[in-house]
Structure formats: structure tokens, C-alpha cells
Structure 1
Amino acid sequence: MEDGDELVNNTNLVCKVCGEQQFTLREGFFYCQECGTKQEQVRAVEVEHEEDFTEVKKLKKQKIKSVKAEKPNLTSWECYNYILRGLVNDLLSFGAKEELKLMTLQLWAAYLRRNEVAFFSRKRVELPKLGVRYLQRDASALYNHALQRRAQKRKRRRTDDSGTSLVSSETASNRAFRKSRRKLDESTYSLHSSMNSTDYSQTSCSSANTSSTGTTGRAIKLQFSARARKQLKKMMPVKHIEKHALDAEGNLKCHSLKPLARSINRTEHALLTMNTRQIYTIIAIALNLIGDDIQLCDLVRFIDEEHVSTKNVLEYFPENIAPHCKQILQEIQFYKYPTKYSDKALREHIEQLSKFINIKTFNQPDLIKLTERYVTELNLPADITTYIERLINLLPPHMRTRVMYVYPAYEARAMAYIIFVLKLLFGLDGHTEKQLSHAARKTNQSLHNLSLKGRGSNANLTPLPSLLVWDDWVEFIEMRKVIVAHYNSNFCRQFKQCQSTAQILEEMEEEQRTRMEQAAHTIEGDAMENNSKIATMHRIFQQFVDELNSTLPTERKDVIKFPPSLTPAHSYFKRILLHCSNAGENATYKIPEFMRIDYMQRTLAPYVHAKELKEFFNQHKWQLDVRRVPCAKERNCVGLFRPSAENKGRVKHDIGNKKADFDISEEQWLATIKEEELIEELEFNTQYAYYEKNYVKKMQVEAMKRQQAVNVAPFDAPNVSIETDLNKNQVCRKSLY
């Protein structure tokens, strides 16, 4: 302890670092006796000595009062840095790889360096440079430039007795005064800059970079990035740009240093404007570069379900900054941009940002692993993953693009393999899958009867798993979509289902909360009016909720929280089943019994090889009739098939709505159902159907020239036989083996 320091014990202070209660008073501040931590918000105030008249004695009093912490002076980049760190921590808690934090930091640094905000100069320390549409808060925090003054009210025109204007003379004198004042300011600034140039060059990094501290009291000349200067040169000469850069108080009204958004290139405006889309895009690129299981579609879904959200970002800031963040976020125009973006919007912005920071290629995820996850999401049997893996090994994907910096749709390609294999197995032409489903139901019923018979006779025969019935699986998927949408509002919006009362109330509460937040961020004049409107709306809404709860007391009890998952429909439905099982009779929504069938335990193997199933029936002295039905004709096109002109007359298309008959019995309804007629002759309408014949011929000639130039032989598709069992419905694909 140095001379002049005083040890203070009788204080209510506790050190936040080590918990010590003894402090040293030095120059009006308290320092911890143990670790030396300075208490920033507490300061001792000396009070004059007072005399006690009864006892001539001097009493020394000290009052300890809390001093408000200084308001943080953050820039927009520092605010988004806190938000980006918070979103990355959320994804890490969801199971993302630890490498995400480092990769996101590298991409964020590359983006800031490209914008000349940070890491752009190694030789000397420089302040961050402003963009083409910079924020006034950044100019004030970095260069101590005053905020722009509000436009003054227009003065009324006054005239004297002779009718001449009195304002013109006053305006001329004011203009002359401002002109002389600007010259004086420029001369003063040049004098100070010449005197302090040597001192500024010798300062260290901590003293030179005063972006958030505001330690210097004078204004500094504005510095613009190269892109911003290029845009400003289109508006004014270089010398005039320097005058505006020296105008710290905004006295020059001839030009605006912020050009209109419509005058800037759309791509540049999207890249140089800081908003939440930049943050989401950087995270999406980082997830791809580290090879994480979270794909772009998963990130978009997390944003839609608000597992990753920028609605409430105050928790991402430190405790000493969070109380002031609402005003700071308002000044950096954070609430001006949307909090949710579609998959298409983020995918296009990934291409722009990757070109901006020079990321030429992306990592292709493990498509086999991705298809396995999608098969689980679709609740399909595990056999299909074997066929998909063989198909991927036989025909690996080539994610080629005509230009660079394109983010391929890996998720769509993985789903395309699943659809292609299902097409091979079930036909999916509107007729074949129905025949397969009819035969599979009969086969499953026979397997069930044989299993019951085997139990009664105590025979040691291993039962075979049931076959996947296509129509039943489709009904399961459609019904699962309805059930999950009843409990999850995101599924309801995604699949356009009917909203429940709970979801309507949830949306109303969310809209009310959003308006209240916007009212809290409004500027002085409109705050009073908005607060009264919000209070009225809140009172009406609360009255409506009370009346609704009195009539429907059990409507909003079934509230299930869904944690983030990579297989949302599968995981959410399992959670709903568990919730309804625990609720029992009190559950407001009854799950049908056919929805409790686990189709992942079914099999697809007999559709490819019926040998094992045939032997099983032979052991019980049953005979399985296997029929092979070839394709209608060999087709080399993939697309939309329609009935040919010859068959259009005998194919009925009932498009109009019919009235529902609620009095019809089940037997009468089944009697009216007729077997759908098989359409053998189909024609394929290509995208060239509406083109002119000469244009189509020209395209064909150019394609032939390109083939001859590259000397590539035309692709000969192998003859793939389709073997279909109408009773058992077996479809054999030799290309899968």
C-alpha cells in the first residue's frame, strides 16, 4: 500500500472477483485489498468536516454512493459481433461441432477485412473505415462527428410596410456568417492536425483505436472505404468529398454523404449493409466448411421455429451493456430488417458473400448419411437405405455448376435419390402402386394368419416382417402432418393446415409482443401515442382470452415444447405420442390406432427378391403366385406423363366439386368404387412442346456439334427389367445389385 492510501473495512462492498470485503481507498476509488480489482461504479465522496458543539471534536464523514456506469459507445460491427457469438453458442448447444466457432471467426474476419473495418492494414493501426451508406452512430463513435441535426421548421415569410421581404436580408447575413465560420473551422483543424501529426503516429494500438471509448474530444476526419469513395466520386469531386469529411457538425447541406439505395448496385447494397442476413449467411457457410450435420435447410428451419432467433438479442450482450442495448439497436437500424429469411434468399446470398470473400468451392456432405436421416424422417424401412447406397455408388452425384461461387442444393439431391428408388420399387404412375398395395395387404394378412397358426401349434418358425403397403404409408404421412401441425405452429404454416385456437392465440400474443417492442423503440414524439394504443389493444386482447378460457378451459392445456431436431416430423410425432399416452383420457386430441404403426419395422426386400417369402409359404404348404409385369414401353424421358390423344376419350377427369352424401352406408360407398383402369399409352410433354420447330432444330444441331467436339459417345441406358408380382407385387431391379 502506497503513501496516501487508506484501508477501509466498514463498507458494504464485496469484490466480484475474489469476494474480499477489505478495500483500499486511492484517489477517490476503491481497490480490492486481495486482487486489486477496481470498483468502477463506486466512488468515495469527501464531505467537509463538521464540528460537534457539545464536544469540540471533528468528525470525518464519508458517503459512498453508486455512480452510474458510462453509457457504452458501441459501433454496429461490435453489436453484430455479440449477436453472432450468441447465435454460434446456441448452435453449439444443439450439437454442432466445436470447429464452428473458429470457422465463423475466420469468415467474420474476412468479411470485416473486405469492408476495411478491421484486419485490413498490418503496417499501421487505423480506424475502421465507413461504408457507402454508413450509420451516423458509427461516425459519432469512431470519428466524434455530431449527430445530424433535425430539419428546422420553415420560417414564415415576413414583409415590411412597403411589401419587401425581411427574410431575404436575414438569410443572406446568416449564409455569410456560416461561410466565414466554415473557413475558420478548416483553418483551425489544419493547425491542430499539423501540430498533432507526430504525436498520433507514435501512439500505441490501444490509444489509437478509440472506436468505442471516445477518449478524444475533437472530431477526426472521416475515412471511407474504397468502394464508398468510388460511389461518392460519382456524386461530387474529390476535393468536395474532403470538405464533407471535415464537416463534423453537418453544416454543409449541399450534398448527402449517404446516396440513395436505389442508386447503388443491388449486389453491393446487399453485401455492404450490415443486417441479420449477413450473420445467418456466415453461419451457413461455416457449417458447410466444417462438414457439420446441420445443413442450410436445417438452419432455416431452426430460424423459423425460433430456436435460433434474433428477436430477443439482449441476452447475447454483457450485463453492463444490455440495459443500453435497446437504444443502440435502434440507432444501428437493427429492427429495420426481418428476422426470418427463406431458403432461397439465404442460398442466393451465400453465392454473393462467397464471391465477396473469395470462397470458390463448398464441401459436399456425406449424401449416404444424409439420405439415411431423410429415410428416418419419412419413417421408411431401413432396407431402402441399402438400395440408395448402391445407387449412389453406381451413379455418384456430380454437383457441377456453370459458374463459380454457387452453393449446390445438396439436400434436394439426397431427396432425389430417395424418390428415384421409390419410383423403381413402386412405379408411382397412379396405377402400379395401387396394385402393389392391394397385393401387399393380402400378403400381410396371410403372414398374420400363419403367425397365429404357428403360435397355436407351437411351431418353431421365425415369422417374417410385414411388407410396406404404399397406400397405408401415404395415409400415415399425411395424417402425421396434420397431427404435428395441430401442436406445432411452424408445421401448420409450412403445410398450410387449419389453425387451432391455441395457435391463433399464440400468433395474437406474438403480434402483441412485437408491437410492444416496437413501441418501446419508438422515438420520443410517437412513444406516448403508441403506448396508449398498445395498452388499449392489450386490454381488449386480455378480455378476449379470459372469455375464451371460460368457454374452452381445456383448449390450451396441451402445450408441448419441441426441442431442435434434425428429424423434426419423426421426433415431434414421437413426443406427441408420448404426451397423449401420458395424458390418457384427458388428452384433447385422440391419436388414431393406425398412426401407432411403425413403418420402419416393415420390409421392402420381397419387392426385389421373393425367394425367402416363397419358401416361407411353402413350409406351410401354401403357394405364392409371382407374376412379372413389364413396363408399358421403353421411355428415355423423365417428367410428367399424360394420357395420349387416343385415350383421352375414355379417361374421365372429375374436376368439379361434388356434394357430400352423409347418409350413404359403407357398403354402398364401397360398391360405387371401381377399379382404376390401367393406361398403357402415355405421351410425354417436354419443355420444348411450346417452342418453335426451327428453334428446336437449332438447339439439336448445336447439341450434336458439342458432342462431336468433345468426342463423347451418347449415353446408352441399360435395359432394366421390371418384375412385378400382382399378388405379391415384386419389383426386381438388377441395376441395384
Structure 2
Amino acid sequence: MDAESTKSYKTPCPQCAEVHWGISDEGQYYCKSCHTVIEKTLELEETEVYNKNARAQSINRGLRKAKRKEWGWEWYICEGFQFILLKQAEALEALGIGSGIKEEVMCVLWRKYLQRTAQAYCRRPMRNGQRLVLACDSSVASSELDTDSEICPTDITVDSDFEQRSQSSLGLPSTGEHTDVSDAESMTSVRSGSVDGAAYIQKKKPWERKLNMPMTLAFCYLSLLWVRASVTLSDLLRLVFYRHIPYYNSQENFPETINIYGADLKAFEVKNFPVHRNILEIAHWLGVFLQLPEFPPITETCYYHPNVLCMKYLMEVNLPDELHTWTCTVAEKANLDNVEFLTFNPKLKRKRMIPHDIQAVAIIIVTLKLIFGLDDNYEWQLAHLAQGINRENDRGFSIFDFQKWYKTMRPSMDEARKKLEEEQARFYWDSEKVLYYRHKSRARILKRRRLAKNLQNQFIKLAGAAPDAGNQGPSSFVFSWDEQNGDKTCFHGHSLEHIVKKDKKEISRRKGYWLNSVRKCRSRYCQHWRQYDECQYPSSYRFVLSLFSLVLRVEARVIHYEVSLIEDKLYKQVPVRRIKKLTKTKI
């Protein structure tokens, strides 16, 4: 077989200069004398491929024939995202997060999305990318959609077998139903493994959103928020980073019926980390677009309540437990513990979705500013006062020392940040499954992958790096503080006596309290989270922001903006005076 296929190729080997070629199982030419692999691949005629792979498979509605082995069976983009959502929901349930989240919540959200975008579960589903996405303000006619579906346990069940959720379960047309497609559309879709892949990557309008990988995390967050699971958005992104939830290279878990090729890479390939703010915006858009009902109320016993999250983050950053009383007071004075304010209600059409984790951290920072000032002066005076009291104190408890806490947290924060940067630098983006845009580039990609893997193994041997310990168990804590650990001081049981008055229930504006922004801009085009300049703020305040930004893995300016919003609610500022524009009038 090799002799017949290689008899027309007479080019000598660049390594040994002999003409003795063979063909590997992957279709690559290699020299039988020196085993050198070259970039030339075996090109089969189209008729041979059809004859070799001519087979049929019965899937619910009828027979589906494979055109080529490299492309696999015909499938749609929404089928791939449905499989990814299925695996993410199963991963959440395997971690013990929200029992029944797959069948009772995630499946219903996905069904409503397919209805609203007219891709399935409607009388006239869209064909071959006629209109793959809808605008936020647009809606499908009520006569074409089912209006009985709600976010509640329904008769819709998600089976583990992906074959049963193929075109028939999604309401998509089978092979026999799109025979009226024109030749131009067929040539367009043949450039991708999916039927609608080429039409999917077309340039969208500014007000339109398409299915993408960050949107799958938005579906997960909405489902977690509905069941009120003990997972915030920052915890979800941390689970994604450590691959406890499939997100990166999720196409590796695709069944054989789904083969990604060409234009499909634009939809499923991930080359950057998800951003907290972007996922929150997409989740808010989904809630409004799907016209979801009001979510279950967030009460004081719910994990997303600021009183519960503040206690969690106080333990995280090794602060005294007595601060929790003051954080509850700040949340009450700013009206941040209101159930109507915390509960997500898409019908109200608010400007944004409440970031519960960032808001809890901002409440702690405002409380620290109220008590310690964080102005590089007052907190160190209180630290010297606490040191003098602790030297003369024989009552068995210590007064909280801000300076000692800073010296304890600074090296721990630097060590955790260095570890995170190393993990991000070593993050492996490439998939084990070979992905390529063109069939002719497959051999070149395989060769580059093989060379890169060999170089990586050589560098590991030269550096003498320790072997990877594997994927560690999930945890929602970055720092762990044990009172029995003598290396690092635990400040949980320290007292705030002589620093604050316990009988003082009302929070009044301290004379030395400084605001993040003197005036709040009312412009609809202004983005306050971009207005954080580190050189304009005290070093203690910058340190606290950096510490919490490491815990949540968000930018410091995002937390700074949330602090400014809370201060605006605590201290009603004078709004910016509007200046009327003078216009010339004709006489």
C-alpha cells in the first residue's frame, strides 16, 4: 500500500538523502531509513473517502449519513453548547453544589433560551443561521413560543445520553428536512464541522449576543443563584480555573458525533480567563432577555446575604470577629441588607446585577475606614495604643494591633500572589485533541505540537521541577488560619476594646473620615471603576484593596468603585450642579 501511494514522490529525504518513503497511520510521509517525518501528507480523493466512510446511523428521526470522517456527523452549534452545559451541571452536582440543579433549573433556563432565540421548542425554528441571535429588545411572537415554561420543576428531564438530546430533542431539522437549502448555503457550511458554524461567526451587531463560553458560566451562576447555593461568582471562577468545572478545552469531552473543525473554533476555543464583571453583565442580560421571574428571596440565613458573606471574608483575611457587629451596622445603615435590594428581579430592569461577594468586601473596607481611618496616620496611632495596652494586659485577651496584622498578612499575601502568578504562567491552554481551521494544516499542527511537547519535557528535566501534585480538592478559601499554628498569629479572637465604644450603636461621620470621591458623577457614559489611581490614595487603603482583590481575583478598581457606592449611600453627597447650555436664539 505504501509503495503504490509513494511511487510518484521521488524527492530525496533531507536527512539521509534516500528515496524510501512510507506513510504513517496519520497520513504523514516518513523516511523508512532514518524515520524522519516530513510535512507532506497523503491526499485522498473525495470518492475514496466517501466509499470508505459510507455508513448510516439511526438517530430518533431517521438516518444521518456521514460526509467525511474528519468532519463527523452533522450537528449544530447549540448542540455543542448544550453538551457543555450538561457537563458543567453534572460537575456542580458532583461537587455537592445544589442538588437537582441540572434537571430543575439549568435545563429549564436552556429551554427558555432556545425558545427566545427561535432555535428550538417553537413551531418554526430558524434554519442554517437565518437568525441565530436576537436583540435584547426584540422578542419572538407569542404565538410561536410556548409560554408555559417557568423556572420550576417541570416534566423536562435531561438524560445522560447525548444521543437522545440530538436534533429531535432540540427541535432542530434532521438531514431530510433541510434538503431545500441552496448550494451557496451548503458551500458556506462545509467550511466548518457544524451545519451553522460558518454563519455563526459572521460579524454581529452591537446590540446582539451570541452563544459563547462565558455565557455558559452565566447560565451556571443564574442556576446557583436560583437554588441559593453556597457559591459566589468568584468561587465559581476559582473552580473553573482549577478545572473542577469544564470550561477550558471542553471540546475534548465531546462525543464522536461532534467533531470541531474550522469555523467552530471561534465558538468553543478559549484563550483567556473569564472576567468577573463580564460574567455578571451577561447573567443580568440573560435574566432580562429570558424574562425570568423574581428569584427566591435572599434572607439573613442565605449565603448571599452581606452579614453571612462578611463573616466569611473576615475569617478569610484574619480580622477580629467583633468587626462583624460593625459590618452588620454599616449594611443596615446603607440599606444593603434589604431583601428586595438583594434579590435578583429581572422584571425591575435595574442597571446592573448586585455583585454579592464584592459588595460584602466593600462593606468590610468601609468599616475599617470608619474604625481605623486607613489614612496612613490614625491606624498606626491605634496600633501604638494597642501595643501599650497589650504589654500591661493580664486579662487573657489581646487588643487588635493593626500594625502586627499588617506584618502578618503582607508576606502571606505576597506568597499567595506569587503562587497565583506561577499557576497562571504554567496554565496549559492547548487541547490534547488536535484542532485546526483547514484540513491541509493538520500535519503541520501535529508536528508543532510534538516539537513543543518534547521541548517542554526537556526543560522540565533541566529545571528539575517537582512533579505536578494533580488537581487538588476544591476550596473557597485562599488563606487558612489556625489558632494552634505558632508561625502566624490568628487575630480572630482579638478584642476591639479601647478602640471603639461598644455602646455606640449609631454610625456618625468621623472627623478624619475621607471619601473616595468628593463628587459622584451622574453622567450615564462615565464608568467609575476606571477612575482608580493608586498614587492618590493612602498605602494602607491600597494594601486592603490588594488583599481583597487577591481573595476575590478581581481588579482593585472594581472593589474601589463598590466602596464609593456604599459611601454614597451612607453619606448623601450633594449632586453635581447641572449647568444649562446657552443657545443662541434667532431674533
TM-score range, shorter chain: 0.5 to 0.7
Q: 1:314 to 1:356 in 2, by over 3 A?
A: same
How far residue 409 of structure 1 moved from its aligned partner, in angstroms, is: 2.4
| Partner residue in 2 for 1:220 | 179
| Partner residue in 2 for 1:85 | 86
SS state of the match for residue 454, structure 2?
helix
Say if 2:405 and 2:491, in contact at 8 Å, map to a contact too: yes
| Partner residue in 2 for 1:103 | 105
Superposed CA deviations along residues 443-496 of structure 1, whole A, max 9, x for unmatched, are 22223xx4xxxxxxxxxxxx431121111112222211223345x4xx33xxxx
Q: 1:89 to 1:339 in 2, by over 3 A?
A: farther
Identity %: 17
What is the total number of aligned residue pairs between the two structures?
405
| Partner residue in 2 for 1:542 | 457
Q: Of the two, which has the highest radius of gyration?
A: 1
Picking from 364, 367, 377, the partner of 1:418 is 364
Amino acid in the other structure paired with 1:382: D
| Partner residue in 2 for 1:50 | none
Say if 1:281 and 1:350, in contact at 8 Å, map to a contact too: yes
Within 5 A, what are the aligned runs for 1:185-584? Answer: 209=168, 219-221=178-180, 244=182, 249-250=186-187, 264-268=204-208, 270=209, 273-313=210-250, 322-327=255-260, 331=264, 333-338=266-271, 340-359=273-292, 364=298, 365-397=304-336, 399=341, 404=350, 406-447=352-393, 450=394, 463-486=395-418, 488=419, 491-492=420-421, 499=422, 506-507=426-427, 510=428, 514=430, 517=433, 519-521=434-436, 523-549=438-464, 556=466, 559=469, 562-566=472-476, 568-571=477-480
Amino acid in the other structure paired with 1:131: G
Q: 1:557 to 1:598 in 2, by over 3 A?
A: farther
Picking from 596, 621, 625, the partner of 2:488 is 596
Give distance in 1, aligned partners of 2:364 and 2:492: 15
Picking from 515, 525, 544, the partner of 1:638 is 515
How far residue 210 of structure 1 moved from its aligned partner, in angstroms, is: 9.1
Structure 2: state its 5+ residue gaps.
1-56, 59-68, 134-163, 190-195, 299-303, 519-534, 536-574, 582-587
How far residue 560 of structure 1 moved from its aligned partner, in angstroms, is: 7.8
- TM-score, structure 1 as length reference: 0.47
How far residue 336 of structure 1 moved from its aligned partner, in angstroms, is: 3.9
Give distance in 2, aligned partners of 1:257 and 1:92: 31
| Partner residue in 2 for 1:21 | none
Say if 1:468 and 1:602, in contact at 8 Å, map to a contact too: yes
Structure 1: state its 5+ residue gaps.
1-39, 42-67, 136-204, 223-243, 451-462, 493-498, 550-554, 582-592, 612-629, 642-652, 654-694, 702-737
Q: 1:528 to 1:315 in 2, by over 3 A?
A: closer
Amino acid in the other structure paired with 1:481: M
Q: 1:558 to 1:483 in 2, by over 3 A?
A: farther
Say if 2:316 and 2:478, in contact at 8 Å, map to a contact too: yes
SS state of the match for residue 207, structure 2?
helix
SS state of the match for residue 607, structure 1?
coil
Moved more, 356-365 or 524-533: 356-365
Structure holding more helix per residue: 1
Give distance in 2, aligned partners of 1:248 and 1:520: 24
| Partner residue in 2 for 1:237 | none
Give distance in 1, aligned partners of 2:386 and 2:263: 62
Q: 1:473 to 1:560 in 2, by over 3 A?
A: farther
Q: 1:392 to 1:115 in 2, by over 3 A?
A: same
How far residue 557 of structure 1 moved from its aligned partner, in angstroms, is: 6.1
Superposed CA deviations along residues 7-47 of structure 1, whole A, max 9, x for unmatched, are xxxxxxxxxxxxxxxxxxxxxxxxxxxxxxxxx99xxxxxx
Picking from 129, 132, 135, the partner of 1:131 is 129
How far residue 369 of structure 1 moved from its aligned partner, in angstroms, is: 0.9
Work out which structure has the larger RCO, using CA pairs closer than 8 Å and 6 or more positions apart in sequence. Answer: 2
| Partner residue in 2 for 1:607 | 499
Amino acid in the other structure paired with 2:490: D
| Partner residue in 2 for 1:118 | 120
Say if 1:267 and 1:352, in contact at 8 Å, map to a contact too: no
Say if 1:276 and 1:339, in contact at 8 Å, map to a contact too: no
Q: 1:598 to 1:408 in 2, by over 3 A?
A: same
After superposition, the CA RMSD in angstroms is 4.6
Superposed CA deviations along residues 304-348 of structure 1, whole A, max 9, x for unmatched, are 33332322436755xxxx345444797475444546320121122
Q: 1:415 to 1:250 in 2, by over 3 A?
A: closer
How far residue 413 of structure 1 moved from its aligned partner, in angstroms, is: 2.2
Superposed CA deviations along residues 606-648 of structure 1, whole A, max 9, x for unmatched, are 423499xxxxxxxxxxxxxxxxxx999487x72369xxxxxxx
How far residue 559 of structure 1 moved from its aligned partner, in angstroms, is: 4.7
Q: 1:354 to 1:443 in 2, by over 3 A?
A: same
Say if 1:127 and 1:209, in contact at 8 Å, map to a contact too: no
Give distance in 1, aligned partners of 2:316 and 2:285: 32
How far residue 357 of structure 1 moved from its aligned partner, in angstroms, is: 0.9
Amino acid in the other structure paired with 2:578: K
Give distance in 1, aligned partners of 2:319 and 2:94: 29
- TM-score, structure 2 as length reference: 0.58
How far residue 564 of structure 1 moved from its aligned partner, in angstroms, is: 2.1
Give distance in 2, aligned partners of 1:80 and 1:114: 16
Say if 2:101 and 2:227, in contact at 8 Å, map to a contact too: yes
How far residue 297 of structure 1 moved from its aligned partner, in angstroms, is: 2.3
Say if 1:326 and 1:521, in contact at 8 Å, map to a contact too: no
SS state of the match for residue 318, structure 2?
coil
Amino acid in the other structure paired with 2:205: N
Give distance in 2, aligned partners of 1:419 and 1:281: 28
Q: 1:376 to 1:535 in 2, by over 3 A?
A: same
Give distance in 2, aligned partners of 1:206 and 1:564: 30
Give distance in 1, aligned partners of 2:403 and 2:244: 35
SS state of the match for residue 495, structure 2?
coil
How far residue 119 of structure 1 moved from its aligned partner, in angstroms, is: 2.0
Give distance in 1, aligned partners of 2:490 and 2:188: 74
Q: 1:367 to 1:295 in 2, by over 3 A?
A: same
Give distance in 2, aligned partners of 1:208 and 1:526: 31
